[in-house]
Amino acid sequence: MHRSAVAALDSLLGLPGDEHESFHPAALAELDRREAFPAAACRVLDDFGLSEHYVPGTAGGRLTDYTELMLLLRTVARHDLTVAVGHGKTFLGAASVWVAGDDEQVRQLGQLVSSGAIASWGLTERRHGSDLLAGQVAATRTSRGWALNGEKWLINNATRGRLVCVLARTRPDGGPRGFSLFLVDKQRLAEDAYTCLPRVPTHGIRGADISGITFHDAEVPGGALVGEVGGGVETVLKALQLTRTTCAALSLGAADTALRLVADYASGRRLYGRTLSDLPRIRRIVGEITAAALLAEATGIMASRSIHTLTGEMSVTSAIAKALVPELVHHVLDRGAELLGVRSFLTETYADGVFAKLERDHRVVAIFDGNTAVNRNALVDQFPLLVASYRRGRVDGDGVDAAARPGTPPPAFDRRRLALISQRGCSVVQSLPDTVARVRARAEAGSLPAAVADLADRIRAEADDLHQELAAQRRTPRDVPPSAFALAERYELCYAAAACMLLWLHNHEALAHEQGDAGLPPELWRDGLWLRACLSTVLTRLGHPLEAADAEAYDRLAEHTLDTAPPTLATAFGPAAVRSPA
């Protein structure tokens, strides 16, 4: 990954207490209270050149590593989710063109976005929500191109954005091949061809431009068509594989800030003659939420690397990341609020109200680009393939190995390898038998405590049982039993466990002896402490009681969060990549 870009942005925005003036928490809190867009903060990101990282290198931009993009947006989200959502939406709005646009479209859009043009994604409608096949915005052919009619609603940056990538019905009867995508440049439309709708007040991200747009016989040229006529839904589903994965950045940035606030409060608050952090129960909570944050991070890193190395499996991987990572971070926020008590609700008195705002803002992340239920349904649809591939032991070994080495440059992303269905299943989960065997071998060689291998064995057994249940699952396209969603959640946790084991196996030898300001200290790699804590978290979420010996890993992990800084995997893979949010 290009560590210099992430380090440069991190340095520009500043550490807590020494932030760039446009990113000062009090200033952002005031904008939130006024429900005003954080324009000054976004200009800082424009001047930095963040928009260039939304544009593929093949189109003249700097996007050659999706893990780098995730880390950049995580850095912004650590300071403010509204800014990250407002600025990062341009990547989401442009993604369909990166997936299906012709060379000229890609080149032109790359130039516009790199120069600061804002793009939005016009998918949803007032009456239809996530049901894209029910969309009523229509595009009809004209002598000069196409005419758009209808309303798109709850569109991020619909008003502020110059460009809108619109999903429109091009066949009256609709259906999977009845919709197409159009890249609309509002500056090239007649003044009466569209109306921007009023901003919709929201509970979180109050300053974001969540609005809509109505088209009135809006004439767009033939070159506005993205991909083929009738290919709109397929293109959207492929683009979502990129955007859903990248959305993990928003949750990871929120977790960084939540852990910092919790650690600061626990270390500074005195109770019964000692600091709160001296109380065993408090340390246990801090350790447990640190492990949950690391589990989310491991999932996000493996998923973002897989865009390059396991591209054909992203229909599964992106759904896992988009469902699980926000849910894990919700847990971090909930337990953090429990520890902070009333201070988690104060909007001015404590820490400029950062935690209260963070908790509100993060709720929307689980809704973006398909909510948790939509993503788990995408997994349910692929249960038969996942079962067959697991039983056959189908693993793209090279792809898995490359995904698990985030300190190395990834292979170039090839959009042609994106697929609506993963014919190979999910190599990360399907590698579990071999991965667990390697963990056991490391334990027998003395590189890991035997207890870590025992946890890995239990997860392997869980995965075996899970696939038996997946095979027995019966459903119809319109009747998905609630039990199927619970099975999908268990599958996500198996993926997260495998991601942690793979990252440890492929990196511990180098990182266990690395010195410096790495966010995950060498001692946490040497005895697999972070791995043990994360695997324990997976098993408890799968319904297993926490063993006393494994709980000690939480306590040891808490020492690093409270005494130094919350540990992060990304920093460990490159000290220059991300400064730990001390």
Work out whether the CA dihedral 110, 86, 122, 368 comes out positive or negative. positive
Separation between Cα atoms, residue 437 and residue 395, nearest integer Å:
15
Measured CA to CA, the distance from residue 203 to residue 201 in angstroms comes to 7
Instruction: Give the span between the Cα atoms of 406 and 384, in whole angstroms.
Output: 31
Strands 210-221 and 194-197: antiparallel
Check if the beta carbon of residue 118 is closer than 8 Å to that of residue 86.
no
In angstroms, the CA 7 to CA 75 distance is: 9
The pLDDT of residue 516 is 46
What would the pLDDT profile of 379-413 be if each residue is shown by its tens digit? 999 999 999 999 999 999 999 999 999 989 999 99
- In the prediction, which pLDDT does 579 show? 41
Could you tell me the pTM of the whole model? 0.95
Please, how many CA atoms are within 13 Å of residue 396, restricted to the half-sphere of its CB? 19
Segment (H or E) for 12: helix 3-13
Q: Report d(CA 316, CA 439) in Å as an integer.
A: 25
The stretches of 144-279 forming alpha helices (DSSP H) are 232-246, 248-268
Residue type at position 51: S
pLDDT of 518 reads: 45
Mean pLDDT of all residues belonging to the chain: 93
Q: What is the DSSP letter of 158?
A: T
CA distance 79 to 253: 8
- 3-state percent breakdown (helix, strand, coil) of the chain, nearest 5: 60, 10, 30
Percent of the chain with pLDDT over 70: 95
| pLDDT above 50 for 580 | no
Q: Which residues does residue 197 pair with via DSSP β-bridges, in sequence order?
A: 212
Which one has a higher pLDDT value, 579 or 56? Answer: 56
Q: How far apart are CA 438 and CA 159, in angstroms?
A: 53
d(C-alpha 231, C-alpha 240), whole Å? 14
Instruction: Spell out the domains of the chain, with CATH numbers in brackets.
Output: 3-117 (1.10.540.10), 120-228 (2.40.110.10), 247-573 (1.20.140.10)
C-alpha to C-alpha distance for 535 and 37, rounded to whole angstroms: 41
pLDDT digits (tens, 9 = 90+) for 215-261: 999 999 999 999 999 999 999 999 999 999 999 999 999 999 999 99
Q: How far apart, in whole angstroms, are the C-alpha atoms of residue 148 and residue 184?
A: 10
pLDDT of 262-277, one tens digit each?
999 998 887 777 888 8
CB neighbourhood size of 85 (10 A): 28
* Tokens standing for residue 4: 């210099």
Burial category of 472 from C-beta neighbours within 10 Å (exposed 0-12, middle 13-18, buried 19 and up): exposed
Which comes out higher in pLDDT, residue 534 or 564? 534
Rounded to a whole number of angstroms, the distance between the first and last alpha carbons of the chain is 23
* Tokens read off for 357: 């705002």
pLDDT of residue 274: 81
Nearest to 79 by CA among 117, 122, 28: 28
* 40 exposure class (CB count in 10 Å sphere: 0-12, 13-18, 19+): middle
Instruction: Decide if pLDDT at 299 tops 60.
Output: yes
Per-residue pLDDT, 221: 98
Mean pLDDT of 540-563: 92
Q: What is the pLDDT of residue 519?
A: 57
Two tokens, residue 242: 């990129």
CB 180 within 8 A of CB 224: no
